[in-house]
Structure formats: structure tokens, C-alpha cells
């Protein structure tokens, strides 16, 4: 049935439309409906791949980190079976628990993102009125087929794409599809141009605001423009967030290091004659020591807490990785309507017709009253009908006018005429009868006889100079992004006869003034855009609106600089369709910041081009048409109040107050979170050094193992967790929003971070802790090379002081990580309960593992002389002092021009 989907259907006359679709005004017969339904299927948006849930769940258990933990857990269970009572089963369950929790969390986030397609179903009506076999019938919307004749009235939601064959004062709101709030007046007459811009086509998902019409369905389900967006939104794959990429890179690197070291020294142990059991324990120790088991859970907790802080600032985060991703954005692609503007029609100015100044209050109300006389659809205190008429009534009421009284004074109405491009009315007041008319300036200009002159008794006779001045006023208003409505009047000698046509009144009109109507800009937006620019973030507008309107709004909010020539920063959808992605990337780099008259596919194209330029992209929007781009972006941001369910489901971030300025708050929070994640990542990796070194010494030299696997987990899943969470809650740096977005090489696991964690602080902790280990051994009578049972009191005491000293040194490391260049000793740490609690826990735990027998038995530790424990307290001061000295040396070198990475 390909003819029914001919995309030139808007070019045909109503009669030709019916023939083209093989239907008639009486509608289809039941037999025809069954045939077409079997051919094209139901009028629904099918959600495919429902069983992909299990596939997605399985994929979460196959990443590097999860596989490594699972294999390690299995080895632990096997080892426990071979040699029970060594605690390996406890280690196995701990590793398996971490693996399952992380996999389940990732799965839940991905499952949420797939609900956007299902939400699209809610936008289509459930039941509709059609004409079949010459009778009007109410049927389920899903039973519609191409060729059905629809009956539509005010308040109906359009169920499928349909071509009008009859229209009576029909106005629709296409905002759910196009994102633009401007009402569209439809006609049944044949049209040229693009199908999507035609004024004789009704699109699925849109709303009838006024009037009634009859239309022939030509596309249903996924073939509608609405359905194409739904399919595109579902098929778009969201790329991993910056944090996900960084985390995956870090996990791969640490996994490779852990496996390589474990396998290498396992083989070394085999060739040197050590038992399989010793080699197995050693390999597990190396793997566990290299993999920071508590790091990813700490990521999750840190991001979750960050999302709670964002919620207090009206930024709701659906996917936790989007918390940090906001801070990484290089460019924000924003919709216009409902995002930068308020998504409503409003009269924002009333202009003098000669000078273009804002009218005086009395004249202001008078012009609005005349425009109201030429409006339609106002009954009593209720406002309804054409959104422009509603806006005029609201403005008149705000100016002190009596809207119901003004409506009661109207004795004759002339509805808007598409051909004449104006509407009129006759009102009866204290001064008699007056004909009022409002419409396009071009339609009223030839009918004028006089022009009102503020401050002068009576209007002036129209002349070329007066018309030229009025032309200039209209041009200024139009270029500022306003919709210009001319208002004129003529006083009548008496009441008009009922049969007098409208054109009988339209001569010698007096031009009263001009109304400027627009979708008002949100007052907070210009300041938010300025803050984005200060933070090195580009802002780009992508809209379906007219290029002139789009650029005017972009200039007013600061997206387009004032020194750029008109049109110099704007690209239309037609131009966008003609250029390749490579050419588009060049345009973006040259400064194009406004895209007008774009389709959903083109919005997606712009987002993809930015991503090809290695930019982290955030996209804002509130309409159905924004869903594909929202999902394709690194960060999709939907409006909470004005946004559609589809947009909210496709997005990762929702602005609860629809405030563009809240994005700036989210960016600040995101940048702070990434900085904090780097802090606790650095903090956690430092303890890997003293955890690995005992195993290397154990394999190379004839010495006891200074730390067991369980003791390593006591640090990774115990004492390091709370301080790490505390670092994740540090407050923003005052300069964080005066810096550009971070470079791509500023990852979580860079060489400077590895060198600092493993080769500097890690070695210091290892040297100090192992020094105490051997002090206890030699002081207890152990001699080099002698065997020492793992349950011997001397061995338990030596491993105990090793563990205790590492935990204490992490306190000094904690303060060092609070500041990249300073001491980190600012007393504001006392306002961070997690840091205070973490320090207290580390202090108590370092004592308890030595002197609290129940804990000592679990961890395989024993007491030491108090003087040795006192010396262990020198560790935090040692590591803090050496690290601070490093900071000062690096700062001095940078001050002298040395290019040293921050790391």
C-alpha cells in the first residue's frame, strides 16, 4: 500500500487525497479495514527486544572487573576445599558480594534508560472518532488504518498522521512534536514545500486547540513522524559517560597489572620449588592487593550522595554516572522553547506606531482593548481558544482592563481569515460603535487612512513618511524575535447591520499601535549562559523555530555575541541537510551556535558532530522531538515541569524547576565530584603499595609474609571506605567554575597518579610498615631465613603492627589528598562528619587489631610492645610531611617554568 505513504500528499487537493488513499468521505468499509490492518499492522509504537533484559543483565557480569573478582572468588572456594580453616572461604564470599553488587547496579541504570520507547505510547489517544461505512464510530486508536476518515474537535489528541480534507477555524499545537509553542492554523487547501512544515497535515501526538476538522489518515504507528522519532529514540545508543570510560580504563589497567604480577610470581614460585598451596595463596594476595575492591562501591556511594545534593538544587539525576558527566561537558546543546523561553505566548510590548516607543499606560490598555475586540474564544472569566487571543486577554487584564466586560461589549466578530491575514470585531462602548481589527502589518497597511500620534489630539493623516516610520518599527520588533500584530480601528456612525460583510468596515482605518508577542525568555537564562562561558562551556541553540526568531533569542540570552553579523552564527535545517558531517564539524569550529528549522534527525547529527570533535555534549529539551538527541548525548537534560514523559525518560538529568540556571549548579557539582573522585582514588591506591610489597619480598627472600589476604581486605573493604567517602563529600573549590572543562588526558588513572600512589607514597608506607614488621621479628628472636609458623605469637604480632601502621599512615595520606597544593589541614574538615568519623575509626581500629582479642583472632594479629605502637604513630606525620615537601618542590619548579603534569 505504498501510495498511501506518498510524501507529496500535502500537494494534492482534498478530492485527490481521497482518491490517492483509495478511500471516500463516507470512510472505509470493514473488509477494507481488515485488509489494511493485516498489511500495515496496528497503530502502535512497538517496543521490540523486550527479552534483551536478561542479555543486558548477563553483560554486566562479563566486564573485566567482575570476571576478575568472580575468578578470584572461585579460586578462594577451591583453596578452602583443599585446605580448610584458612579463611579463604570468607575472602571468596567477600569478593563475590562486591562483584554482584556492582553488576546489579549497572544493570538497573541501563534498564531505566530503555523505558523511553514505552513512554511514547502514552502520547497517543486511546479512542478516536472515525467515519466508516457512512457512520461515525468511536474506535480504539490502535485500530486506525491508512484511509480512515478522522473527525477531530477542540481538545482532541491527533492519533495518526492525517491530511485535512475539511477544516473549520482549526488551530493545533505541534509543540509535543516540534518543540515550538506557536499555534498553527490549518487549512484543507493544497500546499507546497516540505511535508513537515505543511499547514494541511495533522501529526500524531499533537493537540487540537481550536475548531474542528475532518482528515484522511495516511500514516500510522511507526510510519508517522511521531513514530519515526520513537524508533530513532529507541535505536540511539548512549555512549558511555566520561566517568564510565575512565573507570573502565582504570579497571583494565589494574586488572592487567594484577593478573600479570600474580601469574608471573606464581610461575616464579613453581620454578623455585615452592608448594602449590603457597603459590596459590601468593597469587591471590597479589591480585587482591592490586585490585582496590572498595573503590567501585565507593564510587557508587559518592555519586549517590552527589545526586542527593543535586536534588536539593532542583537537579534530579536518574543515572549516577551523569552526576559527574555534567561536570565534564564542553558544550550544551539547548532547545529554545520551554528551555530558554517559558513555552507560552505573551504580549511583551505595545508600541507607538510612529516612533516605536513603548506606549503610555493609557494608550497601552486602549490598544490591548481594541486587539481584544478583534479576538475570539473568551467566555466570562474563562480564557480559551487561540493562544494569541488568550495572551492579549491576559495582558489586558494585567493592564487593569475588565476582560469579561470587554467581551460582553463585542456585538459582532469576524474570525481570523487566512487569506486576509486578519481578524476583526465591532464593540459598543460609551463613545458609540467601533470596528477593531488586528493582523499582519502587510494586510492592514493598504487600508489605513490615519495614524495615531501620542500626545496629539486626534490621529494624523497617513502619508509616506508615517508609513515608513511604521515600517521601521515593525522591522525592529521583528528582528528582535517578536511576532508583530498591527492593531487598527474605525469609529462607526451606528450599530452595524447583521449582514454587513467585514470588508465594508475596512477603509480609512486608524493605526492604533503594534503588539509584540513572543515566548518570553526565562529571566535567569542570560546569567546562566554567561556563567557557562566563564566556565569554558559553549552553548548552542538547536530549535525548529524560524532562523530570525532563533537568532534574536540567542542574541538576547548571550549565545550569539553582539559583534557577529546577523546570520553569521546561524545554520538552517535545509543548509544542514546539504552538508556532510565533516563540513558540519568545520562549521562548529568556526563559531556556528544557532541551528534553526531542524528535524530530530538533524539535532542528532549536530550532537554526533560535536562528539566526533571529542567534545562531551549535554543536550537539553522538553519535547518528544528532543528524545533522540537527549539519548545520544553524553548527558541528556529534560525539563521536569514542562517536559514530556518521553523527554524525561530519554534524559539522564531532569531539571525539577525547568530552570536553565540549574544546569550551572549541576556542572559545578559534577566538577566537584570528579575532583573528589580523583582525591579518593589517589588515596585508595596508595595503600596498594604496602599491600603488594610483602608478597614480593615473600617470593624473592626467605622471609615470612608480612600481610595476609584477610588483612588486605580489612583495609580495602574496611578502614579505607569511610575516609574515601569523606573525600567524596568535600566542598567545591571556589575557582572550580572559573576553569575550563578538564582535558581528555586528565583521567582518573594517569601516569602521575600511578607514580604518586605506588612509587612515592606507596613505597613510603611500605618501607615504614615493613620496618616495624622486621623490628618486631628481630626483637622477638627471629633470624633471617628461619621458618615461622603462621599461628606463632611472634608472627601474629609482626603482621599486626604492619596492618596497624598502614592504617595510621592513611590518616596522613587523607589530609594530603584534601588539597592538591596545600596542607589540607584547614579546620573545615571538622564539618565533614565522614572524614572525622573515618579518622576516629582508623585510630580505634589500629589499636583494636593489636589489643582487642576477638578482632585479633579474626584478622590473625597479636599485640606488640606499647613503644612500638607509639613509633607507628610517627607514620602519619612522616607521610604527610614528605608529601607536603613534594608539593612545595613541584610548585617551585612550575613557578620557574617547568612543565610538570598535575597528575
Predicted confidence (pLDDT) per residue in 816-843, tens digit: 999 888 888 888 888 899 999 999 999 9
- What pLDDT is recorded for position 519? 84
Active site residues: 335
Lowest mean pLDDT among 101-115, 279-293, 532-546, 769-783: 101-115
pLDDT on residue 361: 64
pLDDT in tens, 379-395: 445 555 677 888 888 88
CA angle (372 as vertex; 371, 376 as ends), nearest 5: 115
Between 6 and 52, whose confidence is greater? 52
For 489, the enclosing helix (H) or strand (E) is strand 483-492
Averaged pLDDT, 627-655: 78
What is the structure's pLDDT at 33? 92
DSSP string, 382-437: EE-SSHHHHHHHHHHHHTT--HHHHHHTEEEEEEEETTTTEEEEEEEETTEEEEEE
pTM, full prediction: 0.71
Compare 583 and 320 and report the one with higher pLDDT.
Answer: 583
Assign domain 243-307+671-728+747-895 to a CATH class. Answer: mainly alpha
Residue 13 has pLDDT above 70, yes or no: yes
Hey, how many other C-beta atoms are within 10 angstroms of the C-beta on 165? 23
Q: 389: Cβ–Cβ under 8 A, 6 or more apart, which residues?
A: 372, 375, 376, 377, 378
Is it the case that residue 748 has pLDDT exceeding 90?
no
pLDDT at 325 over 70: yes
CB contact at 8 A, 202 and 149: no
Region 702-711: mean pLDDT is: 88
| Distance, CA of 64 to CA of 872 (rounded, Å) | 37
- Picking from 521, 511, 424, 416, the residue whose alpha carbon sits closest to that of residue 473 is 511
CATH assignment of 311-342+522-666, among 3.40.50.140, 3.40.50.1000, 2.140.10.10, 3.40.50.2300:
3.40.50.1000
Which of residues 778 and 125 earns the better pLDDT score?
778
What is the average pLDDT across 744-765?
86
Whole-number pLDDT of residue 659: 77
DSSP, collapsed to helix, strand or coil, labels residue 341 as: strand
In the predicted structure, residue 251 carries a pLDDT above the cut 70: yes
CA within 13 Å, CB half, 871: 14
pLDDT at 537 > cutoff 70? yes
Better-scored residue on pLDDT, 871 or 266: 871
Q: What pLDDT is attached to residue 225?
A: 83
Q: pLDDT > 70: what percent of the chain?
A: 87
Q: What is the pLDDT of residues 445-492, one digit of tens each?
A: 999 999 988 767 788 898 898 899 899 888 888 878 788 899 999 999
**pLDDT tens digits, one per residue of 600-620:** 778 888 998 998 998 989 998
Least reliable range by pLDDT among 6-10, 30-34, 513-517: 6-10
**CA-to-CA distance for 129 and 150, rounded, in angstroms?**
6
Question: Where does the pLDDT of residue 2 fall: very low under 50, low under 70, confident under 90, or very high at 90 and above?
Answer: very low
Find residue 201's DSSP bridge partners.
163
402 has pLDDT over 60: yes
Closest C-alpha to 568, from 554, 580, 557, 581:
554
pLDDT of residue 180: 61
Higher-confidence position of 7 and 541: 541
Q: Is CATH 2.70.150.10 the right assignment for the domain spanning 4-45+124-234?
A: yes
Q: What is the pLDDT of residue 185?
A: 84
Given a cut of 70, whether residue 901 has pLDDT beyond it is no
Whether residue 644 is predicted with pLDDT greater than 60 in this model: the reply is yes
pLDDT at 257: 81
116 confidence band (pLDDT: 50, 70, 90)? very low
Return the percent helix, strand and coil in the chain, to nearest 5.
55, 15, 30
> What is the CATH number assigned to the segment(s) 346-518?
3.40.1110.10
pLDDT at residue 316, as a whole number: 81
Q: pLDDT category, 885, cuts 50, 70, 90?
A: very high
For 688-759, where are the E strands, in sequence order?
none
Give the pLDDT of residue 4.
41
Per-residue pLDDT band at 763 (split at 50, 70, 90): very high
**Mean pLDDT, to the nearest integer, of 328-353?**
85
Helix, strand or coil, per DSSP, at residue 873: coil
**Percent of the chain, pLDDT > 90?**
29
Q: What is the pLDDT of residue 887?
A: 92
User: Is 330 a residue whose pLDDT tops 60?
Assistant: yes
- Residue 336 C-alpha cell reads as 529554545
Residue 124 banded pLDDT, cuts 50, 70, 90: very low
Indicate if the pLDDT at residue 80 is higher than 50. Answer: yes
Summarised one tens digit per residue, pLDDT across range 562-596 is: 888 888 889 998 899 899 989 999 999 998 999 98
- Tell me the chain's radius of gyration from C-alpha atoms: 36
Amino acid at each position: 500500500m505504498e501510495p498511501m505513504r506518498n510524501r507529496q500528499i500535502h500537494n494534492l487537493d482534498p478530492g485527490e487525497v481521497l482518491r490517492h488513499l483509495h478511500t471516500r468521505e463516507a470512510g472505509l468499509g470493514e473488509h477494507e479495514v481488515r485488509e489494511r490492518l493485516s498489511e500495515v499492522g496496528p497503530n502502535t509504537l512497538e517496543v521490540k527486544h523486550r527479552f534483551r533484559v536478561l542479555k543486558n543483565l548477563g553483560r554486566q557480569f562479563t566486564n573485566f572487573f567482575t570476571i576478575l573478582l568472580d575468578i578470584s572468588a572461585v579460586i578462594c572456594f577451591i583453596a578452602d576445599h583443599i585446605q580448610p580453616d584458612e579463611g579463604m572461604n570468607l575472602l571468596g564470599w567477600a569478593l563475590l558480594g562486591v562483584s554482584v553488587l556492582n553488576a546489579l547496579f549497572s544493570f538497573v541504570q541501563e534498564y531505566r534508560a530503555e523505558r523511553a520507547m514505552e513512554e511514547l505510547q502514552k502520547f497517543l489517544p486511546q479512542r478516536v472518532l472515525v467515519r466508516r461505512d457512512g457512520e461515525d464510530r468511536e474506535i480504539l486508536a490502535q485500530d486506525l488504518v491508512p484511509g480512515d476518515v478522522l473527525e477531530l474537535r477542540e481538545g482532541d489528541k491527533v492519533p495518526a498522521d492525517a491530511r485535512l480534507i475539511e477544516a473549520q477555524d482549526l488551530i493545533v499545537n505541534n509543540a509535543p512534536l516540534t518543540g515550538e509553542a506557536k499555534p498553527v492554523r490549518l487549512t484543507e487547501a493544497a500546499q507546497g514545500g516540505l511535508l513537515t512544515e505543511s499547514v494541511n497535515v495533522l501529526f500524531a501526538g499533537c493537540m487540537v486547540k481550536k475548531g474542528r476538522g475532518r482528515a484522511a489518515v495516511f500514516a500510522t504507528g511507526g510510519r508517522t513522524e511521531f513514530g519515526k522519532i520513537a524508533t530513532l529514540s529507541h535505536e540511539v545508543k548512549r555512549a558511555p559517560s566520561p566517568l564510565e570510560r575512565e573507570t573502565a580504563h582504570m579497571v583494565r589497567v589494574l586488572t592487567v597489572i594484577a593478573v600479570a604480577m600474580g601469574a608471573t610470581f606464581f610461575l616464579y614460585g613453581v620454578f623455585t620449588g615452592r608448594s602449590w598451596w603457597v603459590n596459590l595463596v601468593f597469587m591471590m594476595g597479589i591480585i587482591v592487593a592490586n585490585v582496590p575492591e572498595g573503590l567501585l562501591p565507593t564510587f557508587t556511594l559518592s555519586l549517590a550522595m552527589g545526586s542527593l545534593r543535586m536534588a536539593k538544587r532542583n537537579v534530579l539525576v536518574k543515572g549516577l554516572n551523569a552526576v559527574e558527566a555534567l561536570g565534564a561537558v564542553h558544550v550544551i546543546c539547548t532547545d529554545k522553547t520551554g528551555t530558554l523561553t517559558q513555552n507560552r505566548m505573551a504580549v511583551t510590548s505595545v508600541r507607538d506606531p510612529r516612533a516605536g516607543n513603548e506606549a503610555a499606560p493609557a494608550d497601552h490598555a486602549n490598544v490591548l482593548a481594541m486587539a481584544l475586540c478583534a479576538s475570539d474564544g473568551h467566555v466570562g472569566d474563562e480564557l480559551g481558544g487561540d493562544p494569541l487571543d488568550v495572551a492579549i486577554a491576559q495582558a489586558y487584564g494585567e493592564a487593569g482592563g475588565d476582560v469579561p466586560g470587554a467581551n460582553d461589549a463585542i456585538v459582532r466578530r469576524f474570525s481570523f481569515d487566512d487569506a486576509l491575514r486578519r481578524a476583526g470585531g465591532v464593540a459598543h462602548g460609551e463613545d458609540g460603535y467601533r470596528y477593531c481589527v488586528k493582523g499582519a502589518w502587510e494586510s492592514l497597511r493598504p487600508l489605513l487612512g490615519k495614524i495615531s500620534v501620542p500626545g496629539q489630539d486626534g490621529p494624523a493623516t497617513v502619508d509616506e513618511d508615517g508609513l515608513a516610520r511604521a515600517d521601521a518599527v515593525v522591522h525592529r520588533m521583528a528582528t528582535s524575535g517578536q511576532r508583530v500584530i498591527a492593531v487598527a480601528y474605525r469609529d462607526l456612525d451606528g450599530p452595524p447591520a447583521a449582514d454587513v460583510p467585514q470588508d465594508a468596515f475596512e477603509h480609512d482605518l486608524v493605526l492604533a499601535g503594534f503588539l509584540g508577542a513572543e515566548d518570553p525568555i526565562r529571566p535567569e537564562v542570560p546569567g546562566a549562559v554567561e556563567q557557562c562561558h566563564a566556565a569554558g562551556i559553549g552553548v548552542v541553540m538547536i530549535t525548529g523555530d524560524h532562523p530570525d526568531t532563533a537568532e534574536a533569542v540567542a542574541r538576547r540570552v548571550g549565545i550569539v555575541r553582539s559583534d557577529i553579523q546577523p546570520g553569521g552564527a546561524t545554520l538552517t535545517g535545509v543548509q544542514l541537510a546539504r552538508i556532510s558531517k565533516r563540513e558540519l564539524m568545520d562549521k562548529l569550529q568556526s563559531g556556528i551556535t544557532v541551528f534553526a528549522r531542524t528535524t530530530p534527525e538533524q539535532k542528532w547529527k549536530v550532537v554526533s558532530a560535536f562528539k566526533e570533535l571529542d567534545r562531551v555534549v549535554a543536550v537539553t529539551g522538553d519535547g518528544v522531538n528532543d528524545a533522540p538527541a537527549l539519548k545520544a548525548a553524553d548527558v541528556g537534560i529534560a525539563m521536569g515541569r514542562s517536559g514530556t514523559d518521553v523527554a524525561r525518560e530519554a534524559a539522564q538529568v531532569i531539571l525539577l524547576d525547568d530552570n536553565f540556571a540549574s544546569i550551572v549548579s549541576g556542572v559545578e557539582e559534577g566538577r566537584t565530584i570528579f575532583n573528589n573522585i580523583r582525591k579518593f582514588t589517589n588515596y585508595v591506591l596508595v595503600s596498594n603499595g604496602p599491600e603488594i610489597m610483602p608478597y614480593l619480598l615473600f617470593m624473592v627472600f626467605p622471609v615470612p609474609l608480612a600481610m595476609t589476604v584477610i588483612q588486605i581486605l580489612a583495609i580495602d573493604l574496611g578502614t579505607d571506605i569511610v575516609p574515601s567517602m569523606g573525600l567524596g563529600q568535600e566542598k567545591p573549590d571556589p575557582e572550580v567554575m572559573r576553569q575550563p572543562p578538564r582535558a581528555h588526558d586528565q583521567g582518573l588513572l594517569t601516569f602521575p597518579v600511578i607514580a604518586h600512589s605506588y612509587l612515592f607514597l606507596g613505597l613510603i608506607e611500605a618501607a615504614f610498615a615493613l620496618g616495624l614488621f622486621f623490628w618486631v621479628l628481630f626483637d622477638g628472636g627471629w633470624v633471617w631465613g628461619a621458618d615461622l609458623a603462621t599461628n606463632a605469637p611472634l608472627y601474629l604480632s609482626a603482621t599486626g603492627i604492619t596492618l596497624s601502621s598502614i592504617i595510621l599512615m592513611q590518616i596522613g595520606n587523607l589530609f594530603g589528598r584534601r588539597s592538591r597544593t596545600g596542607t589540607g589541614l584547614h579546620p573545615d574538615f571538622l564539618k565533614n562528619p565522614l572524614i572525622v568519623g573515618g579518622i576516629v575509626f582508623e585510630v580505634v581500629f589500629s589499636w583494636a587489631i593489636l589489643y582487642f582479642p576477638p578482632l585479633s583472632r579474626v584478622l590473625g594479629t597479636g599485640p606488640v610492645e606499647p613503644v612500638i605502637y607509639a613509633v607507628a604513630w610517627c607514620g602519619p606525620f612522616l607521610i604527610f610531611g614528605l608529601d607536603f615537601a613534594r608539593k612545595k618542590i613541584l610548585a617551585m619548579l612550575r613557578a620557574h617554568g617547568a612543565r610538570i603534569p598535575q597528575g
